Structure 1
Amino acid sequence: MATAKIVTWSRADKNAQFPIGIKVSQNGIPAYLFEGNALASRDLWDATKQQVKKSHPHHMRLTNFLIKRLAEINEKILEFETDRKRYSAEDVVNAIKPKPIQEPPPAPKPPLFKDVADNYLQEQKGLGNYDVWKSDRSKLKRFYEFAGEDVTFPKITVEYLRRYTLFLRTGRNLNRKEGHTPLSDRTVTNHLLVIRTMYNRAKTAGLVGNKTYPFGGKEKIIIKFGKTEKIGLNGDEINQLKQYQFSAQHTHLHDSRNIWLVCFYFAGMRITDALLLKWSDFQNGRFYYTMSKNGEPGSLPIPPVVSAIIEEYKTAGHAHDLVFPFLKNLDGLDNRYMVRRRINSVTRLIGEHMGLIMGLLKINKNASPHKARHAFAQRAEEKEIHPKVLQKMYRHESITTTMQYQSNFSHKKADEALEAVIDF
Structure 2
Amino acid sequence: MATAKIITWSRPDKDGQYPIGIKIWCNGKPSYIFEGHTLPNRDLWDAKKQEVKKSFPNAARLTNYLSKKLSEARDKALRLETDELKVSAQQIKATIRDKANGKQKSKGVPFKEIADQYLKEQFECGNRDVYLADKSRLVRFYEFSKNDDLPVSAVNADFLHRYTVYLRKDRKRVGNSKTSPKPLSERTIINHLLIIRTLWNRAITAKAVSNENYPFGADGKILIKFPESIKIGLNEVELNQLETLDLSDKPSLNHARNVCLVGYYFAGMRITDTLLLKWSDFQNGRLYYKMSKNGEPGSLKMPAKAAVILEQYKSVQNINGLVFPDLNRLNNLDDRMKLRKEINTAENRINKAIKVVMTKMACTKNISPHKFRHSFAQRAEEMNVSPKVLQRLYRHESINTTMIYQSNFSHQKADEALDAVVGF
With the length of structure 2 as denominator, give the TM-score of the two structures. Answer: 0.75
Q: Which runs of 5+ in 1 are unaligned?
A: 1-79
CA contact (8 A) 1:263 1:270 kept: yes
| Partners of 1:399 and 1:358 in 2: CA distance | 33
The letter for the 2-side match of 1:330 is: L
- For residues 126-148 of structure 1, what are the alpha-carbon distances to aligned partners after superposition, in whole Å with 9 as ceiling and x for unaligned? 11211211221121122222223
- The equivalent of 2:157 in structure 1 is 158
Q: SS state of the match for residue 202, structure 2?
A: helix
- The equivalent of 1:99 in structure 2 is 65
- For residues 364-412 of structure 1, what are the alpha-carbon distances to aligned partners after superposition, in whole Å with 9 as ceiling and x for unaligned? 1122121111000000001111111111111111111111110010000
After superposing the two structures, state which structure 1 stretch, 295-304 or 169-178, moved more.
169-178
| Partners of 1:290 and 1:125 in 2: CA distance | 22
| Partners of 2:279 and 2:287 in 1: CA distance | 9
Whether 1:420 and 2:420 are equivalent positions in the alignment is: yes
- For residues 131-174 of structure 1, what are the alpha-carbon distances to aligned partners after superposition, in whole Å with 9 as ceiling and x for unaligned? 21122112112222222351332332222211211222222434
How far has the Cα of 1:176 moved from its partner? 5.9
| Partners of 2:291 and 2:367 in 1: CA distance | 22
- The equivalent of 2:136 in structure 1 is 138
Task: Kindly name which structure, 1 or 2, has the bigger radius of gyration based on alpha carbons.
Answer: 1
CA contact (8 A) 2:173 2:181 kept: no
Q: Any residues of structure 2 matched to 1:261-340 within 5 Å, and which?
A: 261-340=261-340
CA RMSD for the aligned pairs? Answer: 2.5
How far has the Cα of 1:207 moved from its partner? 1.8
CA contact (8 A) 1:114 1:149 kept: no
How many residue pairs match? The answer is 340
Q: Any residues of structure 2 matched to 1:179-218 within 5 Å, and which?
A: 180-218=181-219
Q: SS state of the match for residue 326, structure 1?
A: helix
CA contact (8 A) 2:350 2:369 kept: yes
The letter for the 2-side match of 1:173 is: K
- The equivalent of 1:390 in structure 2 is 390
The letter for the 2-side match of 1:222 is: L
| Partners of 1:365 and 1:176 in 2: CA distance | 25
After superposing the two structures, state which structure 1 stretch, 357-366 or 213-222, moved more.
357-366
| Partners of 1:134 and 1:96 in 2: CA distance | 60
| Partners of 1:381 and 1:175 in 2: CA distance | 38
Q: Given the superposition, is the C-alpha separation of residues 218 and 395 from structure 1 closer, same or farther in structure 2, using an over 3 Å criterion?
A: same
Q: SS state of the match for residue 298, structure 2?
A: strand
| Partners of 2:133 and 2:120 in 1: CA distance | 13
The letter for the 1-side match of 2:393 is: M
Q: Given the superposition, is the C-alpha separation of residues 233 and 117 from structure 1 closer, same or farther in structure 2, using an over 3 Å criterion?
A: same
Q: Which runs of 5+ in 2 are unaligned?
A: 1-45, 73-94
Give the percent of matched residue pairs that are identical in Structure 1 and Structure 2. Answer: 50
The letter for the 2-side match of 1:116 is: I
CA contact (8 A) 2:174 2:182 kept: no
How far has the Cα of 1:196 moved from its partner? 0.7
| Partners of 2:116 and 2:212 in 1: CA distance | 24
| Partners of 2:163 and 2:306 in 1: CA distance | 48
Q: SS state of the match for residue 168, structure 2?
A: helix
Match of 1:128 among 123, 126, 129: 126
How far has the Cα of 1:351 moved from its partner? 1.8
How far has the Cα of 1:350 moved from its partner? 1.8
How far has the Cα of 1:300 moved from its partner? 1.3
Q: Any residues of structure 2 matched to 1:238-277 within 5 Å, and which?
A: 238-246=239-247, 248=249, 250-277=250-277
| Partners of 1:409 and 1:149 in 2: CA distance | 46
After superposing the two structures, state which structure 1 stretch, 121-130 or 177-186, moved more.
177-186
How far has the Cα of 1:348 moved from its partner? 2.3
